[in-house]
Amino acid sequence: MRKMKFLSLGLSALMAITMIGCGESAPAGTTTGGGGGGTAAATESGGGSGGETANTPDYIRNDLGPSSFFIQDTKIELSDAEKQKIIADHTDANGKTFVTIALVDDPGSLCAYGSGASKVRSVLLPIVYQPLFARDKLGMKEPAPVIGESWEYVGENPNGGFDWTVKIKENVYDSAGNHITAEDVVFSIWEIGVGKYNAQLGSWCTNMEVVDEYTFKATMTVDGFMTLDVRLLSGNNYVFSKAAYEASPDGMITSPVGTGPYVLTKWETGSTLTFEKNENAWWVAANDMTISREMQNVDKINFKVIKDSAQRTIALEAGEIDYLTSVEETDLVQFQDPAKFTIADSLASQRDTLYFNASEKGNISDVRVRQAICYAIDNEAIILGAVNSGVLCYTVGPTTASAYNKKWETEDYYNYNPDKARELLKEAGIKDGELTVVIMTENAPAYNTRVAEIIQGYLEEVGVKAELKPVDGALFSEYKYDPTSSDIIIATTGGNADYLAPSYCSNDYRTKGETTGLTHLDNPEWTDLQERAMVAGDGSQLVEDCHYYIKDNVYGYALFSATLHTVVTPVITEVRLLTGFEVPGANKYLWNE
């Protein structure tokens, strides 16, 4: 019996040791801040956020570009023999080059509209389909034409809408050879997207109709080019042919036919998807390539569904996949060999944001309390403790928007100041330990919970108790609109990367009818400003006013954008990301040299 006890203890110890050895160590050169308690993290960070200082710590990655439009040379020095071997390993029996990529989930459906694993669909849909217009460079004020050619404002119609006509190119064909006309555009975007799948465009557009073979009319509910651009032209409104859709047995769920650079050739649900180069690429024949996502630098793209993040890392290490984005900081230690891997860092296009419940009946309806909460938090320490590296944010909108004002970075964005926080709480009549706030967070990405724990630590330091409420995505969708469910919501916010106004005027901060957004506001003055800003568009003073309105009233408070790590094997000589997602056709490979 005693022998068995010793054996049991020995086995437990063995298991613990092997788990420790399973990659939980931090990469060399970084300092881990841990998940719990803000005090330790604050001490390490040296406190203070806001504005770039001469002693910016190395985990504040102001040197990085955004993953929205990211390109990095990843060349590893190889001999000719090594290159030939790698190319041979990436060439199939038919002489076609291929690359293998991990997907975090099965897409569920490859119809251009509808639901499914949204992150995965963001990678796959642009491979199969094309939108009307798109951006693929930072700072483009107008989108580049893809299937579309031009747009024109017609005017306000008698029903209160705003009419636009959009002309499309005349030589667009899908991979099956179907000619794309305005009727196909209206069919795919309006009849299928809005009519069948409730695409978001339906909230912004009241009608689409064919004008002639290559022109259609759209009636928008909000005036101004920005809404047309964000919601219709550059949105994820993909075009396909009516004939191909009607010929599909399942509404293109498993048999998509688009005009994009690759064609689905094999799909084993939940396991693998294979795409091959679209040999009928219309823009190749017409010599009319306008955006990088139309490139076809590899013949075949194999996607492997690997849900578990540890397994994705192992698959990359074992050579089963060729590159991987969103690699956890703690896993980077396994990819430090420069002869085998390149780590390409960029900034995630999302921002971790605090949404404050500003409803009058709420716990933190007093703006001074909300300001105090922001002053109590050290954002740099949160970056260190929760994600290990990233950049500070100074507005709730995207820094990649061309109208983003660098001046905001030099202003006080509630820089860490616990004394001021205590003072504001005192002014608001809140005694030490009297206030308890509920912080709700979606449990994905996983670091959101760590952010909440660190904030909890900081709030305790200024005498505010915080209860954490981590919930899964489904519960989050339900609870977030309930003003009684939480006082602060921590969410990772993405959305449009080209404009500021859609972020400021999004549902998150909007009061419209029964929808009060995440901030549960009832403020007609603010609603009026939002509506005028949406019409005026980026670059107008009204949008700048929105930034200050949200900041001064602390409806929302952006914390940071995390660093996005992409690990690449030597077969890829230049890696490219768009809106943080892989664009395998646009990467450069050894065989492209």
| Binding region for other proteins (CB under 8 A) | 3-4, 7-8, 11-12, 15, 18-19, 22, 105-106, 108-109, 111, 114-116, 118, 198, 200, 203, 250-251, 253-254, 268-272, 304-308, 310-311, 314-315, 317-318, 320, 472-475, 477-479, 481, 506-508, 512-515
Nearer to other proteins, 13 or 285 (CB): 13
| Distance from chain centroid for Cα 487 | 25
Minimum separation from the CB atom of position 173 to other proteins (A)? 27
Nearer to other proteins, 493 or 523 (CB): 493
Q: Which long-range contacts (CB under 8 A, 24 or more apart) does 479-485 make?
A: 479/440, 480/440, 480/518, 481/515, 481/516, 481/517, 481/518, 483/357, 483/359, 483/361, 483/362, 483/516, 483/520, 485/438, 485/440
Nearer to other proteins, 317 or 487 (CB): 317
Minimum separation from the CB atom of position 254 to other proteins (A)? 7
Phi and psi at residue 320, to the nearest 5°: -80, -25
Nearer to other proteins, 104 or 428 (CB): 104
Give the other-Cβ count within 10 Å of 57's Cβ.
15
Minimum separation from the CB atom of position 387 to other proteins (A)? 21
Nearer to other proteins, 268 or 528 (CB): 268
Minimum separation from the CB atom of position 97 to other proteins (A)? 20
Nearer to other proteins, 75 or 512 (CB): 512
Side chain identity, residue 466:
A
Nearer to other proteins, 75 or 196 (CB): 196
Minimum separation from the CB atom of position 104 to other proteins (A)? 10
Give the other-Cβ count within 10 Å of 24's Cβ.
11
- Beta partners for residue 470, in sequence order: 441
Structure tokens given for 232:
């219709």
Work out the angle between the directed axes of helices 367-376 and 541-553 (0-180°, nearest 10). 80
* Residue 98, H or E segment: strand 98-103
Structure tokens given for 60:
């504040």
Minimum separation from the CB atom of position 512 to other proteins (A)? 7
CB-CB contact of 320 with 100 (8 Å): yes
Nearer to other proteins, 305 or 376 (CB): 305
Nearer to other proteins, 10 or 338 (CB): 10
Minimum separation from the CB atom of position 84 to other proteins (A)? 21
Residue 576 half-sphere exposure toward CB, CA atoms < 13 A: 19
Minimum separation from the CB atom of position 111 to other proteins (A)? 8
* Residue 332, H or E segment: none
CB-CB contact of 169 with 145 (8 Å): yes
Nearer to other proteins, 140 or 468 (CB): 468
Radius of gyration of the chain (CA): 25
Distance linking the first and last C-alpha atoms of the chain: 67
Minimum separation from the CB atom of position 492 to other proteins (A)? 10
Length of the chain: 593
Minimum separation from the CB atom of position 384 to other proteins (A)? 28
Phi and psi at residue 316, to the nearest 5°: -70, -45
Minimum separation from the CB atom of position 231 to other proteins (A)? 10
For residue 556, the SS3 value is strand
Nearer to other proteins, 9 or 247 (CB): 9
Question: How far apart (Å, rounded) are the C-alpha atoms in residues 170 and 464?
Answer: 63
* Residue 312, H or E segment: helix 309-317
Phi and psi at residue 361, to the nearest 5°: -85, 0
Minimum separation from the CB atom of position 99 to other proteins (A)? 16
Nearer to other proteins, 502 or 537 (CB): 502
Question: How far apart (Å, rounded) are the C-alpha atoms in residues 586 and 385?
Answer: 35
- Cα distances from 498 to residues 69, 556, 563, in angstroms, run 11, 20, 19
Nearer to other proteins, 379 or 485 (CB): 485
E strand map for 496-569: 556-568
- Cα distances from 187 to residues 195, 209, 238, in angstroms, run 9, 9, 11
Minimum separation from the CB atom of position 270 to other proteins (A)? 2
Question: How far apart (Å, rounded) are the C-alpha atoms in residues 297 and 300?
Answer: 9
Nearer to other proteins, 109 or 371 (CB): 109
DSSP 515: B
Minimum separation from the CB atom of position 22 to other proteins (A)? 7
CA-nearest of 306, 384, 368, 386 to 61 is: 384
